[in-house]
Copies of this chain bind each other. A is one copy, B any other.
Amino acid sequence: MNSNKMSKIQIAKAKRLRSTPYTSRIEKQGLKAYTTYNHMLLPAGFEDSLEDSYYHLKENVQVWDVAAERQVEISGEDSAELVQLMTCRDLSKSKDGRCYYCPIIDDQAGLINDPVVLRINQNKWWLSIADSDVILFAKGIAIGKNFNVKIIEPNVDIMAVQGPKSFPLMEKIFGKAITDLKFFGFDYFDFRGTKHLIARSGWSKQGGYEIYVEHTESGLELYDHLFEIGKEFNVKPGCPHLIERIESALLSYGNDFDLNDNPLECGFDKYVNLDSNVIFLGKEKLKKIRSEGIKKKLMGVIINLDKINMSQSIQLKDNENNIIGEMRSAVFSPTFKKVIGIAMLKKPYWDVGLEFNINIEGVSTKGTICNIPFI
C-alpha cells in the first residue's frame, strides 16, 4: 500500500473532513487509506504496495486527487501588497501566468505555510496551500491593516498528472501547446469547450501537471478521459508519494517544519530576499537570524534498517546521550536499501557522515547525517 504507516484503524468520515469531487471515483479505484489535509480527504494509498507505486510513478503516469491543496484567492487593489507582506520571497518582479514557491511567515519568522503562489494578474492571486488555514492569517492581517481586498476559498479542486508519461498523455488531450508550458508556468487549456487552468507543477520530481478544476463537471469528464486515453501509458491512480518525496527532499509542512521553524533553518534561503526593498512580515527578525546564524537546520539521515513506521518525531542522540536533533520524516528507500529521513539538527551537529544513535520502537540503532536531497 502506498502509505508508510498503516494503522489498521479506520478513518471516520464526516462532512467536516470534506470529500472531493473525485472521492467516489478513487474509492472505486481501490483506495486503501486516507489522510486529511486542509479539512479535506487526501488519498494516501491504493492497492499497489508502496514500492510498486514508487516505481510506477517514476516510470509511467499517475493521476492524483489533490483537491485538498486548497486555494486562498486574494483579489482587490491591495492584494499584491498583502501577498507580499505574507512571504519573504520578493514578488516585485513576478509575472502573470507564473507560479512561485513562497514560504509564508509571521512577524517572528515562524513558518505558517509554504504555498505555490499563482499570479493570475496583479490584482488576483491564488495561494495553493499546504495544510494550515492561511485564509485566516490573510483575513486577520487584512482586517488589522484595513486592506481593500477580498479573500475567499474558491471552488478549485486540483487533479495532478505526475510521472514521465504525463507529457505524452497530456499532449494527446491538449495538443502540442501544453508541452511548451515551462516549469511553474500556467495557462488555460480547452477540454471539450471548457477552459481549465493548468500549471506545469506538482508535488513530485517526476514531472507533470496540475489541473486547477473550477468547472467540476468538465473536470470529472476529464478525470475519466485521462484514465481512458491513458491506458497506453499505463496510467494509474496515485497520491503524493512518501518514498519519492523524501528522496527528492520535497519538504512537508507539519511533518518536516512548522511554526517553530524559520525559512533559513529549512534551507529555503533562495526564497528569502532580505536585501530587496519589499516589505514583509518577519524581515527584521530574519535579518537578525541571518547575522547571528541559525541554531538548527534540516538535513538528511540514513539508517541501516529495512523498514520504519513513523507517526511522530524521534530524537537523535550522540554517544554521551546528548540530544543532537530529531528525525521528522522517514521511509525505507528501495533505491538506497536503507531508511532515509529528514531531521532537524542542532548546531554544531551538521557534519555529513556524523554518526548518531536512535531508538526506534524500543530498538537502539545507529545512523549517519547526510545532505538533502538524497537523489
Q: Quick check: is A234 within 8 A (CB to CB) of the other chain?
A: no
A12 lies within 8 A of B18 (CB):
no
Size of A's binding interface in residues, CB under 8 A? 60
Give per-residue flags for A104-132: 1 if the beta carbon is below 8 A from chain B beta carbons, else 0.
Answer: 00110000100000000000000000011
A14 and B131 CA atoms in complex are apart in Å by: 13
Given the contacts A15-B255, A137-B137, A312-B19, A33 and B9 also touching, CB distance less than 8 Å: yes
A252 and B15 CA atoms in complex are apart in Å by: 10
Q: Quick check: is A254 within 8 A (CB to CB) of the other chain?
A: yes
Given the contacts A133-B133, A137-B136, A35 and B9 also touching, CB distance less than 8 Å: no
B11 lies within 8 A of A34 (CB):
yes
Q: Which parts of A29-49 form the interface with B (CB within 8 Å)?
A: 31-36, 39, 44-45
A16 lies within 8 A of B136 (CB):
no
Given the contacts A11-B10, A12-B33, A313-B15, A140 and B132 also touching, CB distance less than 8 Å: no
Q: Chain B's nearest CB lies how many Å from the CB of A346?
A: 18
Q: Chain B's nearest CB lies how many Å from the CB of A119?
A: 22
A137 and B281 CA atoms in complex are apart in Å by: 15
Given the contacts A140-B137, A143-B281, A32 and B16 also touching, CB distance less than 8 Å: no
B139 lies within 8 A of A312 (CB):
no
Q: Which parts of A4-22 form the interface with B (CB within 8 Å)?
A: 4-19
Q: Quick check: is A311 within 8 A (CB to CB) of the other chain?
A: yes
A12 and B36 CA atoms in complex are apart in Å by: 9
Closest residue of chain B to A282 (Cβ to Cβ) is B143
Q: Quick check: is A145 within 8 A (CB to CB) of the other chain?
A: yes
A9 lies within 8 A of B32 (CB):
yes
A81 and B35 CA atoms in complex are apart in Å by: 37
A35 lies within 8 A of B7 (CB):
no
Q: Quick check: is A134 within 8 A (CB to CB) of the other chain?
A: yes
- A-B residue pairs, 3 tightest by C-beta: A144-B144, A140-B140, A16-B254
Give chain A's interface residues, CB within 8 Å of chain B. 3-19, 27, 31-36, 39, 44-45, 106-107, 112, 131-146, 153, 252-255, 259, 281, 309-313, 328-329
18 contacts between A and B (CB under 8 A): A4-B12, A4-B14, A7-B12, A9-B10, A9-B11, A9-B27, A9-B33, A12-B35, A14-B310, A16-B131, A16-B253, A16-B255, A106-B139, A132-B133, A134-B136, A140-B140, A144-B145, A153-B259
